[in-house]
């Protein structure tokens, strides 16, 4: 159970502040994360890694010479926003292009891909390598769907070493991809992790039992068995990973880097006992051990568990793995002293400029801001329940992310309205703030939805019911562009019926309040109906059977929001 925190909503921000204060020799804070505090020669490739907080030393602890150039840091277990990734990449980039590398999770893919597009549009060359080492999360035939867990370290280490040696962007990318192809991981947990302020862990395991194949965000395991001895656990992990070797690898005589990773609460002494058996089993199988690692390398907050990674390097990868590195949480060899940068203050609170709207549109802006405030209020009321629903088969961060996003959106909306923005700009600015502060899948989705709605509403006139319906449809299309469809057990299952009914009722001649009321009822019914569905998208996909009987958190929060906005519309009508 997490004991030391102030306001749980501020935990990630306060953690970053403290981390930077303690590690100023290596890193400096920028909007969205951290970058190296030392000089990088012009023209070097910038390796930018990242993901949700709660996995230290990944990701910020791996920023330094011979490793990452910067780390984008999201909220606890939530991906960084596209804006955060862009800011970190631009701060780290020195003319050689950017390699983005991160674990293969839906929210990270959405936000890093959006950042990559924006960076390329600004003239920066970008490549991406997603880490897919977790053998429990998908079959070998669907390796591209696998999660990234402790194998992140293997990919980041060799890519960072190659970048610091002066290799070009395409070459560094190929090296990172090859390392990912030659890395496999598998983990177990004896108890789940607890987020700050939560009363219960994200999942529980009966006494004397352990979850097998769980994820690093509190995702449940794919199986549950009795806790074995240390030697028995080593045999389980090694056997599972030797059952699936990378293409072209034969165990006899092959060099292997074993990484026994503690997930947060397992003591180093216990890890060493297990590792002794791991090395013996690998040696008996004919493998040659190369520079192993034992310790906390990619954690899951306070989870009691361990994972084993086997990295099978070729000669070049082995040399890069052994190259010097100097980062706050990972040091190897003797890295040459690097010149320290003079401090650069990069504001995390840049004011978004606004274009004045028409008098008619400006008059509506405070009401739009009040509607965003109503969204914030309903999320605050249901934040714990949304987290509980999300934890059934996911990572339990939906309530926290929605709260962070809605609070940021309300503040940005009220500020924009006070500065004379039209209604459409207030919505777009609120969406930008939501995405930036919340991160994760929900942050990206709500940012895109509010932005699309704002573009249709515009700043020129008071929107009609038909214009609002058109804007909602544009928001729906923006969300659907992320890939989910009706039946996947996502927010889309409530959004599409809402959009359909709203459009139909407005076209039939209903006023906005009447049409919105019918659409909100349809969203509520659809959200309730998701309880019977199997998830086909995101982290919950791996543990689909656990989700049956529980509605989707994204669909539930959407239905709550439509009802909150309806109450505001009814009062204003």
Return the sign of the alpha-carbon dihedral for residues 474, 558, 106, 244.
Answer: negative
Nearest of 94, 106, 1, 22 to residue 341 by alpha carbon? 94
Q: Which residues pair with 183 in a beta bridge?
A: 311
Catalytic residue, candidates 31, 217, 255, 382: 217
Beta strands in 88-179 (DSSP E): 98-103, 126-131
Cα 401 vs. chain centroid, distance in angstroms?
A: 11
Cβ burial of 428 (10 Å; 0-12, 13-18, 19+) is buried
User: Distance between CA 409 and CA 453 in Å, rounded?
Assistant: 14
Active site residue 543: no
Tokens of 207: 């006494």
Cβ burial of 183 (10 Å; 0-12, 13-18, 19+) is buried
Q: Which residues pair with 6 in a beta bridge?
A: none
Nearest of 328, 444, 559 to residue 78 by alpha carbon? 444
User: Distance between CA 244 and CA 425 in Å, rounded?
Assistant: 53
Cβ-proximal residues to 512 (8 Å cutoff; 6+ apart), any chain: 465, 468, 506, 569, 573
Cβ-proximal residues to 41 (8 Å cutoff; 6+ apart), any chain: 94, 166
Catalytic residues: 217
């Amino acid at each position: 159970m997490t004991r030391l925190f102030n306001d749980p909503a501020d935990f990630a921000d306060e953690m970053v502040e403290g981390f930077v204060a303690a590690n100023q020799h290596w890193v400096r804070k920028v909007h969205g994360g951290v970058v190296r505090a030392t000089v990088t020669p012009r023209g070097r490739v910038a390796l930018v890694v990242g993901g949700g907080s709660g996995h230290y030393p990944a990701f910020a602890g791996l920023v330094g010479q011979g490793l990452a150039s910067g780390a984008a840091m999201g909220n606890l277990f939530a991906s960084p926003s596209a804006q955060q990734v862009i800011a970190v990449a631009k701060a780290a980039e020195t003319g050689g292009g950017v390699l983005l590398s991160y674990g293969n999770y839906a929210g990270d893919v959405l936000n890093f891909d959006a950042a990559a597009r924006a960076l390329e549009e600004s003239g920066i060359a970008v490549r991406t390598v997603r880490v897919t080492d977790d053998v429990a999360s998908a079959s070998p035939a669907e390796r591209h769907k696998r999660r990234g867990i402790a194998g992140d370290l293997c990919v980041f280490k060799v890519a960072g070493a190659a970048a610091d040696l002066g290799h070009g962007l395409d070459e560094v990318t190929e090296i990172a991809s090859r390392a990912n192809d030659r890395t496999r991981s598998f983990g177990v947990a004896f108890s789940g992790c607890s987020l700050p302020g939560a009363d219960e862990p994200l999942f529980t395991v009966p006494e004397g039992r352990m979850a097998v194949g769980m994820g690093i965000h509190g995702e449940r395991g794919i199986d549950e068995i009795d806790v074995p001895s240390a030697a028995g656990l080593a045999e389980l992990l090694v056997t599972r990973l030797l059952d699936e070797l990378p293409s072209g690898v034969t165990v006899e005589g092959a060099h292997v880097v074993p990484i026994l990773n503690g997930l947060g609460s397992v003591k180093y002494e216990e890890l060493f006992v297990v590792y002794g058996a791991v090395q013996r089993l690998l040696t008996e199988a004919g493998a040659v051990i190369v520079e192993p690692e034992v310790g906390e390398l990619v954690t899951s907050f306070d989870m009691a568990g361990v994972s084993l990674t086997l990295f099978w390097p070729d000669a070049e990868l082995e040399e890069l793995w052994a190259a010097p590195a100097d980062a706050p949480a990972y040091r190897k060899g003797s890295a040459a002293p690097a010149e320290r940068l003079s401090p650069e203050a990069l504001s995390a609170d840049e004011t978004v400029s606004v274009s004045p709207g028409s008098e008619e549109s400006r008059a509506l802006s405070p009401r739009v801001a009040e509607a965003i405030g109503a969204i914030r209020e309903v999320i605050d009321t249901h934040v714990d329940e949304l987290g509980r629903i999300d934890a059934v088969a996911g990572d339990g961060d939906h309530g926290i992310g929605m709260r962070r996003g809605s609070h940021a959106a309300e503040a940005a909306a009220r500020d924009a309205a006070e500065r004379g923005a039209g209604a459409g700009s207030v919505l777009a600015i609120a969406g930008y703030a939501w995405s930036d502060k919340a991160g994760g899948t929900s942050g990206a989705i709500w940012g895109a939805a509010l932005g699309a709605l704002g573009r249709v509403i515009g700043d020129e006139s008071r929107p009609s019911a038909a214009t609002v319906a058109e804007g909602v449809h544009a928001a729906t299309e923006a969300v659907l562009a992320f890939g989910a469809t009706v039946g996947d057990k996502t927010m889309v299952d409530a959004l599409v019926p809402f959009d359909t009914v709203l459009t139909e009722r407005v076209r039939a001649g209903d006023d906005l309040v009447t049409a919105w009321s019918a659409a909100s009822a349809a969203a509520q019914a659809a959200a309730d109906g998701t309880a019977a569905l199997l998830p086909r998208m995101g982290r919950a996909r791996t543990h689909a059977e656990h989700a049956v009987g529980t509605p989707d958190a994204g669909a539930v929060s959407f239905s709550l929001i439509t009802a909150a906005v309806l109450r505001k519309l009814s009062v204003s009508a």
